[in-house]
Amino acid sequence: MGAQVNRIRPFVPVKRRAIANPSPPLAVLLMTCWEALILAGVVMATTFLVFGDLHGRILPAFRLAMAWGRDHGIAVAGLLQVGDLGYFPDAGKMDRATVRHAQKDPLELGTRLLAEPSPEADAVFEGPEAPPGMMWFTVGNHEDFDALARWERGAGPRADSFPVDAYVRVRCIRDGQVETLPGSLRVGALWGIDAAAPRARRRLPEAAYIRPKRATRLSYTPHDVLLTHDSPRDAVRPDSGSEEISRVIRTAQPAFAFFGHYGGMTWPVAGDFGATQVFHLGDLRLQRDGGCAEEGSVGALTWEGGKGKFTFLDARWLRGFTRHNWQTR
């Protein structure tokens, strides 16, 4: 491990801030306020930004949403993310791939800026400009599964999602569960990647793989958006992807299904998905053309009256958001 990684202090859990256990929960308050505005006719549509793999770049994602909303005059209700958040609050628990990337790019270590209070996170969440209320994510194959399990146990058995940071801004949707977000958007999550396809990745922790029982549960739970990390079977590469994900889409028929995992080029995915629109999102690494946000790494989902529209953010606009200006943009 490089010297930059070795200098990181061991993770020591800290008490959450006073907002950690509001009554009612912050997510419920945000949704209730948004619903009241909709009923009053003040807000007719709800907009979320949907992100591909972040690998630690959580604060840049919030900043990007703030900048995009400001530039376009649109209130962003929240962020959705398709796994490989890079949730490693303890540098000693990082997997080998994350260690390798972190030696070259410290943005891979961004989870630690939220695991306990930090000046960088304070500037985003407690600065003069209000950020979107929450980020909701599913779990990929590059996460600290033990840390996530501890947060999940602490949330209690009835919670559909649970916070994983000191600011209570980043929430993991439970595996196979559905969370109702502002605008009455119902978002389901299926954790992990496929273990059965011929080209499936092997020798990963058991927690990194899709659990068929959770997929079955989600298949029969109504939801509008499906967040997965892996793709439907054969959607990106032959003999790759998950038949379980395909089955959830064909059975539940959410309006949208979003996934990441494969990086590279992104597109709407064709297939036997019925009315569901399926999209592959690329990684947001801030490495394009000297540090710009990557085309296809984030899009805008607008939801109104039970119907929605998704478009990738404009590539020209993304060029103005970089690893060099994200903290002030």
pLDDT of 106 > 60? The answer is yes
Is 229 part of any domain? yes
Q: What is the mean pLDDT of the chain?
A: 88
- At residue 270, the pLDDT reads 78
pTM: 0.87
C-alpha torsion sign, points 159, 164, 165, 166: positive
Q: Does the residue 17 lie in any domain? A: no
Domain assignment present for residue 33? The answer is no
Residue 37: predicted pLDDT: 54
Residue (of 309, 230, 305) closest to 44 by Cα position: 305
pLDDT category of residue 210 using cuts at 50, 70 and 90: very high
Read off the CATH number of the domain in which 202 is found. 3.60.21.10
> Is residue 91's pLDDT more than 60?
yes
Q: Above 50 in pLDDT, residue 291? A: yes
| 14 inside domain | no
Cβ pair 236, 228 in contact under 8 A? no
d(Cα 123, Cα 63) in Å, to the nearest integer? 10
> Does residue 328 lie within any of the structural domains?
no
Alpha-carbon dihedral sign for residues 219, 221, 224, 226: negative
Q: pLDDT tens digits, residue range 113-122? A: 999 999 999 9
Residue 128 is predicted with a pLDDT of 95
Q: What is the pLDDT of residue 8?
A: 35
Q: Give Cα 103 distance to the centre of its chain.
A: 23
Asked whether residue 80 is assigned to any structural domain, the reply reads yes
Q: Is residue 16 part of a domain?
A: no
The predicted pLDDT at position 198 comes to: 82
**Percent of the chain clearing pLDDT 90 (strictly above):** 75
Range of the domain at 95: 3-8+38-318
- The reported pLDDT for the residue numbered 42 is 55
Highest-scoring range by mean pLDDT, 94-103, 123-132, 197-206, 256-265: 123-132
Task: For residues 203-223, give the mean pLDDT.
Answer: 96
Instruction: Please count the structural domains in the chain.
Output: 1
Q: What is the pLDDT of residue 20?
A: 41
Distance CA 244, CA 226 (A): 13
Q: Which residues pair with 277 in a beta bridge?
A: 256
Give the pLDDT of residue 29: 55
Residue 25's pLDDT is 52
Catalogue the long-range contacts made by 194-197 (C-beta closer than 8 Å, 24 or more residues apart): 194/230, 194/233, 194/240, 194/241, 194/242, 194/243, 194/244, 194/245, 196/242, 196/243, 197/233, 197/239, 197/240, 197/241, 197/242, 197/243
Q: What is the mean pLDDT of residues 136-156?
A: 96
Is residue 326 a part of any domain in this protein? Answer: no
Q: Which residue has the higher pLDDT, 184 or 14?
A: 184
